Amino acid sequence: MEFRDLKRQYQYLKNKMDISVQEVIEKTNFIQGNQVSELETTLADYTGMKHCISCANGTDALQLALMAWNVGPGDAVFVPDFTFFSSGEVVAAVGAVPVFVDVEHDTYNMDCDSLERLVKKTAATGKLVPKVIISVDLFGQPADYKKLKMIASKYQMFVLEDAAQGFGGRIDKRPACTFGDISTTSFFPAKPFGCYGDGGAIFTNHDEWANLLRSYRVHGKGRSKYDNVRIGMNSRLDTLQAAVLLTKFPVFVEEELEWEQNIAKMYTEQLRDYVKTPNVKEGFYSSWAQYTIQLADKVMRDGLQIYLKEHGIPSAVYYPKPMHRQEAFCNNYYDDNDYPVTNRLSEIVLSLPFHPYMREAEIKQVSEIIIEYVKR
């Protein structure tokens, strides 16, 4: 069994995919081919955002957004403590300080009480200016933007929505990638909407920021690519990846998202009496980047992972180390007591095999082994 079976997905899309990829190879328009702008238009239309700016990956997407806002030394950027490294890495990369924030126990997204407390605490030191909140839509479920935006406007901060895992999710009818002042996503292959390599995109309604992002993305270009007006990056999306995404897009929105809802429902029905299953808030819709359960303690979690492996079932721990404990951030001071929830989650979470092409028998097999283990 695969954790996320991309081979099965390829078989389903094979006929159309092979034609799309072949077309790029034959035309040799590998960089900035027409598929790139077609994808940007498709995704802007889907989200209803004015600008979609594709780029090389989800990490660059975040960094480019911070560059467009001129975030740098002296600025504090608030980031969930329970997320992939990139969400905090980009802050340090532009010279600002990541201030990690604890998360909600059941949705894994930023906890607004912890956020406000840490914003006040940071401002009170007088050393850093609270500037941006990077809200992560973890495991596919959007963060609680109603509350987050109240805090952002109270303290005059921007919201940067990191929807690397959240593309396809929504709150009521409003889709992910529309909640931030700038929003970003990743097309890493295992993401809900993934390509066949690295890729990312940035969304905003703000014309000036969009122009800056388009410039920073290609070496700070001015009027032409040999007129360089600022220091930027080389962060274009390959034409091949755009072609792959265009081919996947109708299947993703019309079929895969719905199949994933059913798979999550089946898992939850089987497992909810034995382990803590995911909680999707009322009115929220997850794109199920991960299906993550919680065990009673670390011994149970680690034991279950071994037990699953013995039965040929892969699983993963997202994330085994809170951000504030990462050695890369050891130059900043973090109080371990600020992160009781993340500290605990890192010991008890386990993500199960999950993808739109999973069969009912496979879901049953995984569930039965988990139940067997928990009952022992």
Ligand X SMILES: Cc1ncc(COP(=O)(O)O)c(C=O)c1O
**Which residues bind to ligand X, rule: CB under 6 A?**
57-59, 83-84, 86-87, 136, 162, 164-165, 186, 188, 198, 200
Task: Give, in order, the Cα–Cα distances in Å from 10 to each of 18, 169, 249, 355.
Answer: 10, 22, 13, 13
H/E/C letters for each residue in the chain? Answer: CCCCCHHHHHHHHHHHHHHHHHHHHHHCCCECCHHHHHHHHHHHHHHCCCEEEEECCHHHHHHHHHHHCCCCCCEEEEEECCCCCHHHHHHHHCCCEEEEECECCCCCCECHHHHHHHHHHHHHHCCCEEEEEEEECHHHCCCCHHHHHHHHHHCCCEEEEECCCCCCCEECCEECCCCCCEEEEECCCCCCCCCCCCCEEEEECCHHHHHHHHHHHECCECCCCCCECCCCCECCCEHHHHHHHHHHHHHHHHHHHHHHHHHHHHHHHHHCCCCECCCCCCCEECCCCCEEEECCCHHHHHHHHHHHHHCCCCCECCCCCCHHHCHHHCCCCCCHHHCHHHHHHHHHEEEECCCCCCCHHHHHHHHHHHHHHHHC
- 287 vs 367 by CB, closer to ligand X: 287
d(CA 30, CA 281): 42
The distance of closest approach from Cβ of residue 80 to ligand X in the complex, given in angstroms and rounded to an integer, is 9
- 318 vs 334 by CB, closer to ligand X: 318
- 20 vs 186 by CB, closer to ligand X: 186
The distance of closest approach from Cβ of residue 162 to ligand X in the complex, given in angstroms and rounded to an integer, is 5
- 82 vs 373 by CB, closer to ligand X: 82
The distance of closest approach from Cβ of residue 186 to ligand X in the complex, given in angstroms and rounded to an integer, is 3
- 209 vs 319 by CB, closer to ligand X: 319
- 80 vs 356 by CB, closer to ligand X: 80
- On whether the CB atoms of residues 81 and 136 are closer than 8 A, the answer is no
With CA atoms as reference, report the closest residue to 346 among 366, 371, 317. 317
The distance of closest approach from Cβ of residue 135 to ligand X in the complex, given in angstroms and rounded to an integer, is 10
- 20 vs 86 by CB, closer to ligand X: 86
The distance of closest approach from Cβ of residue 180 to ligand X in the complex, given in angstroms and rounded to an integer, is 13
Q: What are phi and psi of 114, to 5 degrees?
A: -60, -40
The distance of closest approach from Cβ of residue 235 to ligand X in the complex, given in angstroms and rounded to an integer, is 10
- 186 vs 247 by CB, closer to ligand X: 186
Four-residue CA torsion sign, 199, 189, 90, 204: positive
CB-nearest residue to ligand X: 58
The distance of closest approach from Cβ of residue 250 to ligand X in the complex, given in angstroms and rounded to an integer, is 22
d(CA 225, CA 211): 14
- 140 vs 353 by CB, closer to ligand X: 140
The distance of closest approach from Cβ of residue 187 to ligand X in the complex, given in angstroms and rounded to an integer, is 7
- 57 vs 122 by CB, closer to ligand X: 57
The distance of closest approach from Cβ of residue 100 to ligand X in the complex, given in angstroms and rounded to an integer, is 14
